[in-house]
Structure 1
Amino acid sequence: MQTVDIQSNQFLGQCHPLALVLYFGELFTGLLLFNHVLITGLFFLALCGLCSWYFGSRTVWRLVRSVLSLMGLILVLNILLNHSGASWWQITIGTWHWGVSQVGVLYGATMALSLGGMIMAFMLFNGCVTTSQLRALLNPVAPRLAMLLTLAIRFVNLFIQQFRRLILLQRTRGSVVTAGPWRQRLTKTGSLLRVLLLGSISRAMETAILMEARGYGGRQHSQYRHYRWRLADTLFTLMASGLFVMVLGLRVRGWGITMNVRDLPGILATDWWVVGAASLLVGLPLIGEGLYRLCQN
């Protein structure tokens, strides 16, 4: 998938990197706290809507189509392996008996929606937090780790771009990598990867020389862009932390969680409190976006 960044004139594009990391840490933790199909489905749909707001519906739909295949695989595996609880549908052929259980369907849907929500949240994180922001955040603590992380992300993006260009170049020459027997496709892909590997080594050596000329390895490092903590970052962090503490408190009380997977179909009145708090946590960037545009006008 092509990397899409949030524009600098939007609210999340103006936030401090520390505020963004704290918010997404709370968001990822919230996705792991609950195993109710209603809440996980809400997280997935809300994150899809949030990504559509920032990246566009077409970009998100392309990602959702690829994610749905993985989610469907998880659902099918749970249906095939989990036969506990009441059966919704059964089939018997001779001595072979197989059925679709209610627990298998609901638990598989919960796991699939949780995975889909994590992928959508990571897409939003990848578009909000750039490599320069990560480097500025990690430089005071672990400068070597910050530089390695920046180089790794940069080289992965370059690797993907060069691979796509090579595929398009091969198509202009009449050679389609995805056509033919699988042995032939594997051979063509291997030859392209060999070319990319040689180019990556050459770019890595060039980058090392440029870094040495810039003075990396010394005690002090220069920074191209500096980020300042503002009042909006404080308000955003306080609101996100308050909502996260509320969600965590509801989880501690046992709301929105099922200790027995056979109770997954039940939707209690307390679950809607969790839905409301989780909706506010996920939709907090949109609230900040509205207030930011109101202040700009």
Structure 2
Amino acid sequence: MHKLPIRMTFFYQLHPVVSVVYFFEAIVGLLLFNHLAVALTGFVGLLLVCIFYKGVAVVFRQFKWYLSLLLMIAFFNVLLNQRFGPVLYQVSLANFTFKLTVPALIYGIVMGLMLVEMLMVFGVLNAILPAPKLVAVFSPITPKFGLLVVISLNLVKTFIQTLGDLSMLQQTRNINVSAGGFMRRIKSGGRLLRILLEDSLASGMETARLMDARGFGVEKRTHYAAYHWHTGDWAFLAASVVSFAGMATSRLQSAGWSGSVRQFTQGFMGQDFYALASLGLVLLLPLLAEGVYRAWTN
């Protein structure tokens, strides 16, 4: 299936303020619930959103790292929570007894899913809200914060790009930093990290000087891209606010929330459906808006 360029999507063309409000609602919504079914719903919804806006290949490469992170969190949670039953597996070694309990396993999976979902949200945020849009949102409030946002984004981007360039250079020169003894590898890795940090910080300071020379922070010169409000922006903002209100209301009714590890063995309650539906609606709202936008324009 041909992937639509992200700049041609309705979500990318939204007013930056609307996008910032939506991502704030999505992040808060993911923190409101810790039920396993709700966490799985959030993961599936974000997976569909990531595939649509970033492509299957990119999502698959990141998914392998996400899976390892989830398994690591679940493992340590099972290791540290041994109190509640039922017990799936138990083994004793000397004076130590390890219990694999259902609540600890479910709780670890939920915590891992929540962290992965946060990473997925920020991945989509970086694609939808590049530095100029963030500057346009935050610079009217505080230009210094807008400058800090731009420098931070450029620092990470430069760090990753320089790491790729140095890795390619090492391959062409037959340099292997992982060869040799343990101390040698630590010194080689530390030297590489120092070069990356120095180059990235120098690039960030150069960006700051250039922005200061161009009058960044001066009235009417903080950002150069003009963003105008359209009917679609107001409609999307209203839909996201209503969906977020429904999500907050369901949380106030204790839907989709477990107060302790012991309660994670409880099944799906009727009120949890409202939490599941409201969170799913918020996360899938960009895809629903894309469908409405395509139907309207065609």
1:75 corresponding residue in structure 2: 74
Written as runs of structure 1 = structure 2, the 5 A alignment for 1:77-92 is 77-86=76-85, 87-92=87-92
User: Partners of 1:117 and 1:257 in 2: how far apart?
Assistant: 17
Residues 12/184 of structure 1: CA separation in 2 closer, same or farther (3 Å cut): same
2:269 corresponding residue in structure 1: 268
Per-residue CA deviations over 1:182-201 (Å, capped at 9, x if unaligned) read 32233223333344445445
Of stretches 147-156 and 186-195 in structure 1, the one that deviates more from structure 2 is 186-195
1:280 corresponding residue in structure 2: 281
User: Partners of 1:121 and 1:207 in 2: how far apart?
Assistant: 27
Query: Normalising to structure 1: TM-score of the pair?
Result: 0.91
The reply on whether 1:136 has 2:143 as its aligned counterpart is no
Residues 96/208 of structure 1: CA separation in 2 closer, same or farther (3 Å cut): closer
Aligned 8 A contact 2:78 2:105 in 1: yes
SS of match in other structure, 1:226: coil
Per-residue CA deviations over 1:21-57 (Å, capped at 9, x if unaligned) read 1111111111111111111121112111210111111
User: Partners of 1:39 and 1:73 in 2: how far apart?
Assistant: 21
What is the identity percentage for the equivalent residue pairs of Structure 1 and Structure 2?
33
CA displacement at 1:160 relative to structure 2? 1.5
Aligned 8 A contact 1:83 1:103 in 2: no
CA displacement at 1:202 relative to structure 2? 4.8
CA displacement at 1:259 relative to structure 2? 2.7
Segments of structure 1 that go 5 or more residues without pairing to the other structure are 1-5
SS of match in other structure, 1:8: helix
SS of match in other structure, 2:98: strand
Written as runs of structure 1 = structure 2, the 5 A alignment for 1:176-191 is 176-191=176-191
User: Partners of 1:72 and 1:269 in 2: how far apart?
Assistant: 29
CA displacement at 1:154 relative to structure 2? 1.0
1:290 corresponding residue in structure 2: 291
User: Partners of 2:288 and 2:201 in 1: how far apart?
Assistant: 46
User: Partners of 1:271 and 1:9 in 2: how far apart?
Assistant: 36
Residues 50/180 of structure 1: CA separation in 2 closer, same or farther (3 Å cut): farther
Of stretches 10-19 and 212-221 in structure 1, the one that deviates more from structure 2 is 212-221
How many positions carry a matched residue from both structures? 293
Residues 9/99 of structure 1: CA separation in 2 closer, same or farther (3 Å cut): same
Of stretches 183-192 and 57-66 in structure 1, the one that deviates more from structure 2 is 183-192
1:247 corresponding residue in structure 2: 247
Residues 40/178 of structure 1: CA separation in 2 closer, same or farther (3 Å cut): same
2:234 corresponding residue in structure 1: 234
Per-residue CA deviations over 1:42-78 (Å, capped at 9, x if unaligned) read 1112111210111111111111211222211111111
Aligned 8 A contact 1:167 1:176 in 2: no
Residues 92/213 of structure 1: CA separation in 2 closer, same or farther (3 Å cut): closer
Aligned 8 A contact 1:17 1:129 in 2: yes
Aligned 8 A contact 1:84 1:103 in 2: no
Given residue 77 of structure 1, which amino acid in structure 2 is its aligned partner? F
Given residue 296 of structure 2, which amino acid in structure 1 is its aligned partner? C
User: Partners of 1:212 and 1:260 in 2: how far apart?
Assistant: 51
SS of match in other structure, 2:224: coil
Aligned 8 A contact 1:167 1:177 in 2: no
Aligned 8 A contact 2:104 2:261 in 1: no
Aligned 8 A contact 1:19 1:237 in 2: yes
User: Partners of 2:150 and 2:285 in 1: how far apart?
Assistant: 28
2:64 corresponding residue in structure 1: 65
1:3 corresponding residue in structure 2: none
User: Partners of 2:206 and 2:95 in 1: how far apart?
Assistant: 67
2:148 corresponding residue in structure 1: 148
User: Partners of 1:130 and 1:208 in 2: how far apart?
Assistant: 17
CA displacement at 1:113 relative to structure 2? 1.1
